[in-house]
A and B are shown apart, each in its own frame.
Chain A
Amino acid sequence: MPAHPAGPAAVLSAAGLSKTFPGVRALDGVDFTVRAGEVHALIGENGAGKSTLIKVLTGVYRPDPPAAPGAGVLTYDGSEVEFATPLEAQHAGISTIYQEVDLVPLMSVARNLFLGWEPRGRLGLIDFRRMHREADAALRDLGVRVDVRRPLRELGVGVQQMVALARAVSVDARVVVMDEPTSSLEPREVVTLFGVIRMLRERGIAVIYVSHRLDELYEVCDTVTVLRDGRSVHTGPIAGLDRLRLVSLMLGRELGDVRDQGLTRFSGSHDTAAEPVLRAEELTVRHQLHGVSLTVRPGEVVGLGGLLGSGRSETAKAIAGALPPDSGRVVVAGVPVRTGSTPAAIRAGVSLLPEDRKAEGIVPGLSVRENIALAALPGLSRFGLVDEARIDRVVATFMKRLRIKASGPHQKVGELSGGNQQKVLLARWLAMNPKVLLLDEPTRGIDVGAKAEVQKLIDELADDGLGVLLISSDMEELIEGSDRVVVLKDGAVVEELAGDAVTEDRLLRAVAAMPADVPADVPADVPVDVPAVRTASGGDDD
């Protein structure tokens, strides 16, 4: 492992870097160095400053002016630099996958891949044939098969992440930065990604890797830097560093406390009533869902398993009225709900936490407070006038309960760290007192501490009699959190696992729809086929 300090030269380093936003000191004198051929993990709680550090390193943000000589200096390739724009950093050889996918949704996959350096033909026009061919090849290398002419927004978030990855590694870079690249990836794609990272390391490229999934770090990283409240509290080789110790460093709590609390927070099974609170019957959406039926009882957590594009998000959207089904019924607490209408579904007590938090969840320009109160607004007002005092109470309750880290209720949600945005969304739906909660990747991008909180919360909500439908590409979460798992493939239910049958092995088999005697581990070179990822975005643009 080329990670010891005396090894290869530092490619990119920061000394005493600070970044202040109005009211928030996001980075407070951070030292950070990444060397050639090193995979450097950057971890920390939500809001610790990881994304901010990356954005300062890559020219998105400008660091604070130096408080003392030598502080706040960025060194790249042996000389002091200052990137004015992300493009400058890119040209210098730093390529970045940002946490929130920053591609152009309306452009085709190929255009996105080659944005800014399109292959040109005669007359300087874009050579589309070549571009499509090369884009197709680049994605195939990563095991993704899609029509590269399709607009990006028609694809799921996972595929979008793979496109961002392909873009980042196909430019000639010396540093590749990945901010939570695996948050929406399936196990198979994660394997592919790790293959890519190892290849980069062999080529002597420095990789900065941000993730909340600690297991991954041990698998691919050499070095780890832990950020807490904008300061770096630990840097060192990851080998030999205990996982619990890592968590205690992140949270700033004693090792013993962390050990006592354990790492996942699901308590296991719940007592469930007999009558289902949610019944979906034969939901069918052309090309997307083929007669999906499922039930959720009060107090039950039902997992929805399946690969990318198997129709999990579409099922949730169809139930929540965001994707009008061609046929089928949704019955909540015995009463049929008008399908294809979000307000009707919400009135019936169905709430959906969408997968694409940035595009479909948060309202970035509004404050934390307005975002939390958004859906519950009619209930929090009288005669069309907003009851500010009641909103304040509700908001304060949930900010505390979910430990939302913001400078205050009036901070814009767009300025929060990714994980805290997710918590705001969760608060929005909990404020509605729903009967059924549909959670599409609820812990995506949430740190270990908060993840345990959210999982505990899901448990508590179920105990209180809420019906929960849980979608997660985190196998462990799905298995430990669900009382029952319904497995989808190509838009149809292929299996239902309950009780003791909910195991990783059974789930993997069902997901891959394999006969029982084939070993369940999936080889990395099997292409990820993306047949049905025509996501709802086409349908809900009514």
Chain B
Amino acid sequence: MTDIDVGGRVRVDRDRLLRILQDHGVHLGVAVLLLVNIAFTPHFVSAENFRTQAVQVAPVMIVALGMALAIGSEGVDLSVGSVMALSTSLLSLYLGYGMWIALIVAVLGGVAVGMAGGALVAFVGVQPIVATLALMVAGRGLALVLLPQLKDVRDPTMASLGSGDVLGVPYLVLIAAALALLVAFVVRRTTFGRQLLAIGDSRPAARLAGLPVRRVLVLVYVCSGALAAIAGVLATARLTASDPTSLGHLMELSAITAVVVGGTPLSGGRVRVGGTVAGAVLIQLLTATLIKHDLPPSWTQIAQAVVIILAVYAARERGRR
């Protein structure tokens, strides 16, 4: 396409701009926020600060990876925040039997919730948003029944998982990076990944092509549940406390934002893992920026909403022609 600029033809450029925005807007956003902070936020450029930001974003990122799979299958998983709460409750309940057992039980809790959600979606035919909304309410309730109030986690191994590092890179960040690579591999290289994308793009076609639609859908929500549970465990380790009341609160929104901002369309059929990771970083930076400049937390939510709208707008406009 040539850029001849004759009156009404600027739209050609606008189309291209929108494409660039959707594909790379998230990286652009991250870069801009970094620059703004480096310029205007005191004490921003320090190893300590980067470390804090990275450790804070790790759980969101992990949850967003699962969310990306759900959204790629033309669904959504609203239960992720409650799964985090459930996993923290299970973790502190079973910690007495040893850390590994507690970890496994906590993750299995997430798997179970995912299986329930997946079964509702795939076998009963409930809309994903409704099915996982039900589980969001039920999951948080169950977490509070298991552990009615905040409880300190005094396990030294857990504490070192939350705050330890290898060569200055926190365990949390390493785990999040490993999981991101794993999910990227699953999406690109496995039959499950390909089938997931086909199902998300056109369910009737996938069904007529003989794809195991139900099995794939259940697996999608199981992955999402397991990832959310892992995020819950890691957040618990970082806070050295189990707080089922507030852990993972509004996490589903942050995760959806990260996914959408990262360029994964809500209409399914596509999963952008790299974009999702960058999307999570973007939200983290946005929050940090607002907090560091002493703006109330409610501003963060408003800013998040604006970012979502921008992302969805870019995707829509581009989808039109």
Determine whether A470 belongs to the interface, using a CB cutoff of 8 Å to chain B.
no
Please tell me if the beta carbons of A352 and B202 are within 8 angstroms of each other in the complex: no
> B182-213 vs A: 1/0 string, CB under 8 Å?
00000001111011011001101111111110
Closest A residue to B12 by beta carbon equals A65
B3-11, B156-164, B224-232: which one contacts chain A?
B3-11
Closest B residue to A373 by beta carbon equals B194
Enumerate A65-82 residues with CB–CB distance to B below 8 Å: 65-66, 82
Determine whether A92 belongs to the interface, using a CB cutoff of 8 Å to chain B.
no
Q: Contacts A82-B8, A343-B212: A384 and B191 contacting too (C-beta < 8 A)?
A: yes
Please tell me if the beta carbons of B208 and A360 are within 8 angstroms of each other in the complex: yes
Please tell me if the beta carbons of B210 and A375 are within 8 angstroms of each other in the complex: yes
Determine whether B244 belongs to the interface, using a CB cutoff of 8 Å to chain A.
no
A120 to chain B minimum Cβ distance, whole angstroms, is 28
The number of residue pairs between A and B whose CB atoms lie closer than 8 Å in the complex comes to: 95
Please tell me if the beta carbons of B191 and A374 are within 8 angstroms of each other in the complex: no
Closest B residue to A370 by beta carbon equals B194
A281-289, A361-369, A515-523: which one contacts chain B?
A361-369
Which chain A residues border B47 with CB–CB below 8 Å? Answer: none
A421 to chain B minimum Cβ distance, whole angstroms, is 11
Determine whether B238 belongs to the interface, using a CB cutoff of 8 Å to chain A.
no
Which chain A residues border B208 with CB–CB below 8 Å? Answer: 320, 322, 342, 352, 354, 360-361, 540
Please tell me if the beta carbons of B191 and A362 are within 8 angstroms of each other in the complex: no
Closest A residue to B200 by beta carbon equals A365
Which chain B residues border A6 with CB–CB below 8 Å? Answer: none
Determine whether B46 belongs to the interface, using a CB cutoff of 8 Å to chain A.
no
Please tell me if the beta carbons of B201 and A384 are within 8 angstroms of each other in the complex: no
> A339-372 vs B: 1/0 string, CB under 8 Å?
0001101110000101000011111111000100
Please tell me if the beta carbons of B270 and A362 are within 8 angstroms of each other in the complex: no
A366→B198 CA distance, assembly (Å): 7
Closest A residue to B199 by beta carbon equals A363
Determine whether B321 belongs to the interface, using a CB cutoff of 8 Å to chain A.
yes
Determine whether A101 belongs to the interface, using a CB cutoff of 8 Å to chain B.
no
A57 to chain B minimum Cβ distance, whole angstroms, is 15
A430 to chain B minimum Cβ distance, whole angstroms, is 13
A73 to chain B minimum Cβ distance, whole angstroms, is 12
Which chain B residues border A365 with CB–CB below 8 Å? Answer: 197, 201-202, 269-270
Determine whether A377 belongs to the interface, using a CB cutoff of 8 Å to chain B.
yes
Closest A residue to B123 by beta carbon equals A542
B43 to chain A minimum Cβ distance, whole angstroms, is 45
Which chain B residues border A378 with CB–CB below 8 Å? Answer: 191
A61→B210 CA distance, assembly (Å): 35
Determine whether B302 belongs to the interface, using a CB cutoff of 8 Å to chain A.
no
> B255-280 vs A: 1/0 string, CB under 8 Å?
00000000000000110000000000
Please tell me if the beta carbons of A374 and B207 are within 8 angstroms of each other in the complex: no
Please tell me if the beta carbons of A346 and B210 are within 8 angstroms of each other in the complex: yes
Determine whether A62 belongs to the interface, using a CB cutoff of 8 Å to chain B.
yes
Q: Contacts A65-B2, A322-B207: A377 and B195 contacting too (C-beta < 8 A)?
A: yes
Which chain A residues border B297 with CB–CB below 8 Å? Answer: none
Determine whether B1 belongs to the interface, using a CB cutoff of 8 Å to chain A.
yes
> Which of B191, B201, B270 contacts A381, CB < 8 Å?
B191
Determine whether A20 belongs to the interface, using a CB cutoff of 8 Å to chain B.
yes
Determine whether B125 belongs to the interface, using a CB cutoff of 8 Å to chain A.
yes
Which chain A residues border B206 with CB–CB below 8 Å? Answer: 363, 374
Which chain A residues border B270 with CB–CB below 8 Å? Answer: 365
Q: Contacts A343-B212, A384-B191: A362 and B202 contacting too (C-beta < 8 A)?
A: yes
Enumerate B1-45 residues with CB–CB distance to A below 8 Å: 1-2, 4, 6, 8-9, 11-12
> Which of B4, B205, B211 contacts A361, CB < 8 Å?
B205
Which chain B residues border A374 with CB–CB below 8 Å? Answer: 194, 198, 206, 209, 211
A360→B206 CA distance, assembly (Å): 8
Closest B residue to A347 by beta carbon equals B210
Which chain B residues border A532 with CB–CB below 8 Å? Answer: none
> A37-50 vs B: 1/0 string, CB under 8 Å?
00000000000000
> A401-422 vs B: 1/0 string, CB under 8 Å?
0000000000000000000000
B185 to chain A minimum Cβ distance, whole angstroms, is 9
- Closest 8 pairs (CB-CB, A-B): A346-B210, A365-B269, A365-B201, A375-B209, A360-B204, A363-B201, A65-B4, A363-B202
23 A-B contacts (beta carbon < 8 Å):
A60-B321, A61-B321, A64-B1, A65-B4, A65-B6, A65-B12, A66-B4, A342-B210, A343-B212, A360-B205, A362-B205, A363-B198, A363-B269, A365-B197, A365-B270, A373-B194, A374-B194, A374-B198, A374-B209, A374-B211, A384-B191, A537-B204, A540-B207
Q: Identify the A interface with B (CB < 8 A).
A: 20, 60-62, 64-66, 82, 84, 320, 322, 342-343, 345-347, 352, 354, 359-366, 370, 373-375, 377-378, 381, 384-386, 428, 537, 540-542
Given contacts A374-B209, A381-B190, 7 further A-B contacts (CB under 8 A): A65-B9, A322-B207, A322-B208, A342-B208, A366-B269, A375-B210, A540-B208
Q: Identify the B interface with A (CB < 8 A).
A: 1-2, 4, 6, 8-9, 11-12, 125, 189-192, 194-195, 197-198, 201-202, 204-212, 269-270, 321
